[in-house]
């Protein structure tokens, strides 16, 4: 088993080295070696995952004197499987996709090195290996995004990414050093063991150790997972090749969720940090979705949608559903990777349906339009509110009885409720003869999906955090006292109910609402079109700093 863990690291490195060595002479065959390497890595990762699933105990593999440990545990093996899986798909996709690009072998070398760095991060057992992997991923992503060596623009945007990542690495360095100073060891397992004995240890400036280190780790996760104000690099990383955008969802953009899960034993001893994580995640999710809806090109829209999804993942960690965050990370990785790899098909879809409404005169000649009988809107509105809640509650109750003690679960239930309501509302608006047949079909599929979703997320919970004591302590860390929670729940319920009633009413008499909202909507759109001026602010900041530096150089006569 020790050799398997080592093997999973050495395979991509060996593939990268071999590809680089024989690239000058055999351009095509060098790429085949890289494919073989990634297939082998995937097989080893699958073997590791099966071992972990079969209940192999967590084990530490020691290399260096006091650092250089690799860790075999459920979280590591699962993430290794995901990383090597998506990396294999990107490798096979790039064989034909990048065939005509200059630097074709160099691209595959970088892909292999990136896979190796991701695997190192995922199975790192001690803080220094984690720091090295964390730092290397940022540097390798800079060279992957800047693959087109002749374009200044690609490298200008790639340097945004590198600087945000470097800004994200620094708090992790401080956190690592603080932990080392407190427990005099770099190994994570040892630190967490000692931490459970002495949870309220103090550190620099008499701050509580767990709180400060957790805050630093969270800040580092924010920078990596493009939370608001540290997000500008993600939507503007589209100047790299398409496979790189897909690879980013294999553990580079969602490394924030992994980091928080890796430091779960640390977050358990904190009380305030997770609330901040929740707020930052929620703000990012909303802003990411809002900006996604206003983008006019497919790749930036996908970029902002990823920002929103990463915000939701961080919010799930903030709510205490750590394992759900990992599940979201994987589901979203596959989802967004597929959308990116197939992003060229938008023109094909536009040829099928180019958004031009049917001409009423000619349509009349060809199709006898069915008289669409509109259902009375009040019962439909009530059905929209009641049905999803019942399905959600039933499904979760079926899967895990103690579901409702966790406050986090209730918050996530709200999102499920809004989604179910929107699903029914959109079927209500669909033009069809027999609305009930379609409504039945949609509800049936909604139930299946919710049941499957609840079961999988529960299975993840059992797999990643086996002992229930630890699970309850996570929820405790994330919970807020009960009075505040109930007030929040009632407020949210009111907002949702009111919201849907207004939407249904607006659906009926459309013109009444249009005029009033016009002015507000225009100023809001100005803000959204300029992406909340964040990018311009950063551009002005960097230009200002550079001009100051230039003036300093002249003042000090270049020496």
Partner 1 sequence: MSSLDMSSFGYILAAIFLPLFPASMLFNWLFFRIGNVWLRSGLLLVWPQLGLWLLAAVTEEPPVGLIYWGVLTAGLYAFRACALRDFRLWTAHMATSSWALLWLAAAVNEGGYEVNLQAAAFSAPFVLLAWFIFRIESSFGAAYAGAVGGLALTVPRLAGVLVMTVLAAVATPLFPGFFVLLQTITQALMVVPGAAVMVLGVWLLWAWAGTRILQGLVFGPASSEPGADLAGVTTGLLGSVLLVLVIAGIAFAEGLA
Partner 2 sequence: MTGSLGQKLRIRAMVYVAGKPVPFFWPMRAFIHHNPLHGFEHLAFDEAVATGMRLFHASGFLPRATYQQYLADGRVDRRALERDVQRFVDSQQLSLPTDLASWLVTELLEHDGQAVERMTFASPEDVHSALSGSPLTEIADADPEALGAGLRKELLCGQPTYEVADALFGTTIGTELDERVIKACLDFFDEGQSVWSMPNRERGFFRAWLDVAGRDVRKTLRELLRQESTESGDDPETVITLVLTALQVPEEQWVAYLTRELARLHGWVGFIRWRSTAGHYYWQRLYPGDLVDYVAVRMLLALTLLRKRTQSAIPYTVGGVMEAIRSNPREMYLRREFYGNDTFVQMAHDLEDAVLRRNGARIDRVFVEYRDRKRKFEAERQAELLLESAQRAGCADALRRLSPEELSSLLAALQAFQKQEGKIWLKAMEARAMSSLLQGLSLQPEPPRERRPFAKALFCIDTRSERIRRHLESIGDYQTYGIAGFFGVPVSFMELGKGSENHLCPVILTPKNLVMEMTYAGIQDAAALTALEKALHELKESVLTPFVTVEAIGILFGFDMVGKTLLPATYNRWRKRLREERPASHLMLDKLTRGQADSVVRAVQRAVIVKAVEQEFRLEPEQISDFMVRELREAALARQTGCPEFAAITGLDEDGVNTFIHRLRDAYRINQSFAQLQLERLGRIGFTPDEQARFVAQALLSIGLTNEFSRFILLVGHGSSSENNPYESALDCGACGGSHGLVSARVLAQMANKPEVRRRLRAQGIDIPDDARFVPALHNTTTDELRLHDLALLPPKHLIYLDRLRKGLTAASRLCAQERLPSLQEHARMQDPAVAFRRARRNAMDWSQVRPEWGLSGNAYFIIGRRSLTRSETLDGRAFLHSYDYRLDPNRRLLENILTGPLVVGQWINMEHYFSTVDNERFGSGSKVYHNVAGRFGVMTGNLSDLRTGLPSQTVLDRGQPYHQPMRLITVIEAPFAQAENAVEDVVAVKQLVRNGWIRLLIIDPETSTVCLYDKGEWRKQAFVEGAEETVFQELLSP
Residues within the interface to partner 1 (CB under 8 A): 64-67, 128, 131-132, 135-136, 139, 142, 146, 149-152, 155-156, 159, 162-163, 166-167, 170, 173-174, 177-178, 180-181, 186, 204-205, 545-547, 549-550, 552-553, 556-559
**Long-range CB pairs of 496-504, under 8 A, 24+ apart, other chains included:** 496/385, 496/414, 496/417, 496/418, 496/421, 497/385, 500/381, 500/384, 500/385, 500/421, 500/425, 501/381, 503/425, 504/377, 504/378, 504/380, 504/381, 504/384, 504/425
Closest among 147, 140, 122, 106 to 23, alpha carbons compared: 106
Give the bridge partners for 208, in sequence order: 202
* 415 near partner 2 (CB under 8 A): yes
Window contacting partner 2 (CB under 8 A); options: 97-105, 132-140, 170-178, 252-260 = 97-105
43, 418, 455, 493: which one contacts partner 2 (CB under 8 A)? Answer: 418
Query: Nearest distance from residue 100's CB to partner 1, in Å?
Result: 16
* 338 near partner 2 (CB under 8 A): yes
58, 159, 419, 472: which one contacts partner 2 (CB under 8 A)? Answer: 419
If you search the block for the tokens 């003036």, which residue do you land on? 551
344, 466, 468, 544: which one contacts partner 2 (CB under 8 A)? Answer: 344
* 433 near partner 2 (CB under 8 A): yes
Residue 173: name its binding partner from partner 2, partner 1, none (Cβ under 5 to 8 Å by kind). partner 1
Which CB atom, from 170 or from 527, has the smaller least distance to partner 1?
Answer: 170
Applying the rule CB under 8 A, the residues between 187 and 206 that interact with partner 2 are: none
Window contacting partner 2 (CB under 8 A); options: 14-22, 68-76, 215-223, 230-238 = 230-238
Query: Nearest distance from residue 464's CB to partner 1, in Å?
Result: 28
Residue 141 · residue 154 · CB < 8 Å = no
Q: How far apart are CA 329 and CA 335, in angstroms?
A: 10
* 36 near partner 2 (CB under 8 A): no
* 293 near partner 2 (CB under 8 A): yes
29, 181, 390, 445: which one contacts partner 2 (CB under 8 A)? Answer: 445
b/e 169-188 (16+ beta carbons within 10 angstroms → b): bebbebbbebbbebbebbbb
* 544 near partner 2 (CB under 8 A): no
DSSP per position, 309-372: HHHHHHHHHHHT-HHHHHHHHHHHHHHHHHHHHTGGGHHHHHHH--SPPPPHHHHHHHS-----
Applying the rule CB under 8 A, the residues between 101 and 120 that interact with partner 2 are: 101-102
* 481 near partner 2 (CB under 8 A): no
Query: Nearest distance from residue 536's CB to partner 2, in Å?
Result: 9
- Is 190 strand, coil or helix? helix
197, 296, 401, 559: which one contacts partner 2 (CB under 8 A)? Answer: 296
Residue 65: name its binding partner from partner 1, partner 2, none (Cβ under 5 to 8 Å by kind). partner 1
Residue 58: name its binding partner from partner 1, partner 2, none (Cβ under 5 to 8 Å by kind). none
Residue 165 · residue 158 · CB < 8 Å = no
The residues, any chain, with a CB within 8 Å of residue 399's CB and separated by 6 or more, are 451, 454, 455, 458
Q: How far apart are CA 157 and CA 164, in angstroms?
A: 11
The count of residues interacting with partner 2 (CB under 8 A) is 121
Give, as one character, the DSSP assignment of residue 426.
Answer: H
Window contacting partner 2 (CB under 8 A); options: 54-62, 176-184, 186-194, 452-460 = 452-460
- Phi, then psi, of 417 in degrees rounded to 5: -65, -50
Q: How far apart are CA 217 and CA 317, in angstroms?
A: 13
Query: Nearest distance from residue 412's CB to partner 1, in Å?
Result: 36
């Amino acid at each position: 088993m020790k050799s398997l863990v080592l093997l999973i690291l050495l395979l991509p490195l060996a593939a990268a080295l071999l590809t680089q060595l024989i690239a000058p002479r055999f351009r095509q065959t060098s790429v085949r070696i890289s494919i073989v390497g990634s297939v082998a890595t995937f097989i080893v990762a699958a073997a590791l995952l099966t071992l972990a699933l079969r209940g192999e105990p967590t084990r530490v593999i020691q290399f260096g004197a006091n650092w250089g440990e690799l860790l075999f545990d459920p979280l590591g093996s699962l993430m290794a499987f995901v990383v090597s899986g998506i990396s294999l798909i990107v490798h096979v996709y790039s064989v034909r996709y990048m065939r005509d690009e200059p630097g074709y072998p160099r691209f595959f070398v970088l892909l292999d090195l990136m896979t190796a760095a991701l695997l190192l991060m995922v199975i790192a057992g001690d803080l220094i290996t984690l720091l090295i992997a964390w730092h290397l991923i940022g540097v390798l992503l800079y060279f992957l995004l800047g693959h087109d060596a002749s374009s200044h623009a690609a490298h200008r945007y790639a340097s945004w990414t590198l600087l945000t990542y470097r800004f994200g690495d620094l708090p992790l360095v401080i956190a690592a050093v603080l932990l080392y100073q407190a427990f005099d060891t770099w190994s994570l397992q040892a630190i967490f063991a000692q931490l459970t004995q002495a949870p309220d240890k103090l550190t620099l400036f008499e701050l509580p150790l767990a709180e400060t280190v957790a805050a630093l780790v969270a800040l580092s996760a924010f920078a990596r997972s493009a939370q608001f104000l540290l997000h500008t690099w993600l939507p503007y990383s589209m100047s790299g090749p398409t496979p790189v955008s897909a690879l980013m969802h294999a553990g580079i953009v969602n490394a924030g969720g992994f980091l928080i899960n890796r430091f779960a034993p640390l977050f358990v001893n904190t009380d305030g940090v997770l609330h901040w994580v929740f707020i930052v995640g929620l703000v990012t999710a909303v802003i990411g979705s809002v900006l996604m809806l206003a983008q006019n090109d497919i790749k930036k829209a996908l970029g902002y949608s990823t920002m929103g999804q990463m915000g939701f993942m961080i919010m799930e960690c903030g709510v205490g559903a750590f394992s759900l965050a990992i599940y979201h990370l994987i589901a979203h990785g596959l989802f967004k990777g597929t959308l990116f790899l197939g992003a060229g098909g938008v023109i094909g879809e536009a040829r099928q349906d180019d958004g031009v409404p049917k001409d009423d005169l000619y349509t009349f000649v060809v199709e006898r339009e069915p008289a669409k009988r509109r259902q009375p809107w009040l019962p439909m509105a009530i059905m929209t509110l009641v049905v999803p809640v019942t399905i959600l509650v039933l499904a979760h109750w079926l899967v895990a009885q103690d579901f409702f003690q966790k406050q986090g679960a209730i918050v996530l239930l709200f999102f499920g409720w809004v989604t179910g309501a929107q699903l029914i509302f959109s079927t209500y608006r669909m033009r069809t003869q027999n609305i009930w047949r379609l409504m039945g079909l949609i509800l049936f599929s909604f139930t299946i999906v919710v049941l499957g979703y609840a079961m999988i997320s529960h299975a993840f919970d059992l797999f990643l955090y086996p002992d229930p004591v630890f699970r309850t302590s996570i929820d405790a860390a994330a919970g807020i006292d009960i009075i505040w929670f109930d007030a929040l729940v009632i407020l949210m319920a009111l907002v949702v109910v009111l919201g849907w009633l207004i939407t249904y009413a607006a659906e009926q008499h459309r013109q009444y609402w249009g005029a009033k909202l016009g002015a507000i909507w225009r100023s809001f759109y100005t803000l959204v079109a300029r992406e909340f001026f964040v990018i311009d602010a950063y551009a002005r900041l960097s230009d200002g700093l550079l001009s100051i530096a230039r003036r300093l150089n002249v003042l000090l006569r270049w020496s």
